[in-house]
Structure 1
């Protein structure tokens, strides 16, 4: 039975939900208090300058691609993605760590700071990739109705990784405090502390080192514009 659905706010989640609901045949309306869509990912234009006032990191490009693929589209239909090289730099009082756009460069940088660190780094990222594949394909895409959705063959057989933290695992493999900080910071995007976050969430490190940091030409608001265009085409 088709329904009439109202969504309050127009951020990423609202625009995404509106597209899926409209595709399912429902009549969907979005209500936004601001004069433009985007929620926290809005854009500020002032004195001839344009600023993104929301997200600044484009990680997990496969997730964005899958979203548009679900509607027979691709990210390239709406915006141009550029992989940043280097991805970013981390500034310390006495040094700068440069994160390249592929693992060989990153390993070289780790070796510069801590001899012998590239081997455990590759092993750490390989496990992080395993976690990423499970998280994205077996957990994240579930509807989020029950906590039991987190209980899968893949998570149960790796239950130990939910009882030790990322900090514990990182500090066991690396001694240099700068490398430790570099590997601990990605989980901050989840609003979590490395010392309180299960090591399974190292999938964020694969999103960082494995998939790289990207940026839409024209700014992050290009994603919002693309989702708005898609939603309108679906009748939202």
Structure 2
């Protein structure tokens, strides 16, 4: 079949690669001049910054994806295990000095000992907690992540049924409550609760089933691909083009074209016939297709590219949804070394319930919990010799009204104020008093940039939050209810936020087209229906582009 993929982030690239490998004729349309989407990259004055994901978690998902395409993670990536996995800095209780930082390392036993040193009895509690997390993670991989929940009976596997008495309560109890019943020290609670942020949520809003994330970062599972996450995106793009995918850059899709369905069954009112798109010169073009895959922001795809009567998720649907947090990103090139900071650092405020309440209540938190990535600790190619590369992330409300970022303090006043406060906070908590004076490159990105550049709903940084009503079978579906042949992939859809989830969503599209309703991953490698034809990457302006 002829397939048009809308969006060149990791979900779009992965979907295109898998469908082309399965024998389909695939074109991918990306509005920007480079692929990657949220997993973007910026370079200036010898520094190269990843502007999106920075944690390589759930390695089994990456392994399986590459195996589907006849290769492996080891062949495509140079992965380094981070040790420490990350360092946690604490604000401390009011009127008290902050406690020393806590390192989470690559050795599970050492992490258990570190918890025990903070709180007597917490070591044994952590061992039990990680056992539960590992069980939930393994069950999720086998039964809940590689399914669109179209055939519930497929989920009734014996090992799922045996575990139901333990699994069901995890859906109705918050992660905060689940952790709090096992650990008393606020620092340990924060270490175990912060993975909710990776899911666009907060510990009091995320179901406790997501404690499964701790089976990854506390057991030696944090890695980094040399060359950064932009290198990961490049490898997937190369695999897609090797399978015959034609990538059109600077190609803005303006409409999913459809035709009425005669004698329609159920809710299907139309079928997809292709996409209408505009090149960099403003010329409108029509690309026919049998299948269209929307792999960008689902709100934009549904409310801008389809007529109202064909929308599965109209504007009224989004009015009651949680967009997750926005973010202010601060990209810093720093003169001299920063031994105080490992590859990943987390800066937690003492009262982080107020921190999250502010974010989800529409206010910028003050002070804010902050995440800092220093990839130059692992990858010398991201900064000039004698300098460090810092990526600072401050979660804020998903509100484009906060403005856009800029170079050297040239962003909106609100964005730059958040950046100034974060730099001062990192300097004070980590013991780098001259940090601001040593900054030689500074660039900020705000919620307005996420909305304008990535078409992100409400300027959200990650995608719709993983609350109970926006997780698993309650998340937006991978298929349109009203348009046959229209499918969805990416962070807005099942299974959810994050690079591994986006890879799985791509595989779910493949399963849909194959009629596979199982809850298991597709056997690897893909057995193509025909030999794929190699083709070059085409830009929208290329005179050789067969669709121009």
TM normalised by structure 2 equals: 0.41
Question: Whole-Å Cα distance in 2 between the matches of residues 18 and 8 of structure 1?
Answer: 10
Which residue does the alignment assign to 1:24? 22
What is the aligned residue count?
A: 233
Q: Kindly state the Cα deviation for residue 187 of structure 1 after the two structures are TM-superposed.
A: 1.9
Verify: 1:127 aligned to 2:132, yes or no.
yes
Distance 2:35 2:4 in 1: 15
**Where in structure 2 are the equivalents of 1:50-61 lying within 5 Å?**
50-61=48-59
Distance 2:217 2:192 in 1: 9
Cα deviation digits, residues 152-198 of structure 1 (max 9, x gap): 34164432222222211211110000100110001211112221222
Whether 2:117 is the aligned partner of 1:112: answer yes
Q: Which residue of 2 aligns with 1:89?
A: 87
In structure 1, what is the equivalent of residue 46 of structure 2?
Answer: 48
Q: Is the 8 A contact 1:117 1:174 kept in 2?
A: yes
User: Partners of 1:161 and 1:211 in 2: how far apart?
Assistant: 24
Pairing 1:159-198 to 2, within 5 Å after superposition: 159-198=168-207
What's the offset of the Cα at 1:12?
A: 1.1
- What is the rounded CA distance, in whole Å, between the counterparts of 1:201 and 1:44 in structure 2? 32
Change (3 A) 1:167 1:150: farther
Say whether the 8 Å CA contact 1:165–1:197 is kept in structure 2. yes
Preserved CA contact (<8 Å) 1:132 1:204? yes
Q: 1:28, 1:145 → 2: CA distance?
A: 26
Provide Cα deviations, 1:64-122, integer angstroms capped at 9, x if missing partner.
Answer: 11100111100121220000000000111312111011211111211221122100101
Which structure is higher in helix share? 1
- Give the Cα–Cα distance (whole angstroms) in 2 for the partners of residues 152 and 88 of structure 1: 38
Mapped to 1, the partners of 2:223 and 2:138 lie a distance apart of 20
Distance (Å, rounded) in 2 between the aligned partners of 1:43 and 1:82: 20
Q: Distance in 2 between matches of 1:162 and 1:99?
A: 27
**Root-mean-square deviation (CA), in Å?**
1.7
Distance 1:8 1:65 in 2: 25
**1:67 aligned residue (61, 65, 68):** 65
Is 1:99 matched up with 2:104?
A: yes
- Which of 231, 244, 262 does residue 235 from structure 1 map onto? 244
* Runs (5+) with no aligned partner, structure 2: 92-97, 246-548
CA distance in 1: counterparts of 2:14 and 2:220, whole angstroms: 22
C-alpha contact 2:105 2:220 (8 A) present in aligned 1 = no
Match of 2:343 in 1: none
Distance 1:48 1:70 in 2: 36
**Bigger RCO of structures 1 and 2 (CA < 8 A, at least 6 apart):** 1
Runs of 4+ in 1 over 4 A off after TM superposition: none
Q: Equivalent residue of 1:28, what SS?
A: strand
Q: Distance in 2 between matches of 1:123 and 1:80?
A: 33
Q: Which moved more, 1:149-158 or 1:225-234?
A: 149-158
- Secondary structure in 2 matching 1:168: helix
Q: Is the 8 A contact 1:139 1:149 kept in 2?
A: no
- Corresponding residue for residue 215 of structure 1: 224
Cα-to-partner distance string for 1:8-29 (whole Å, 9 max, x where unaligned): 1111111111111111211111
User: Contact 2:2–2:24 at 8 Å: present in 1 too?
Assistant: yes
Counterpart of 2:449 in structure 1 is none
Tell me the TM-score normalized by structure 1.
0.93
More strand by share: 2
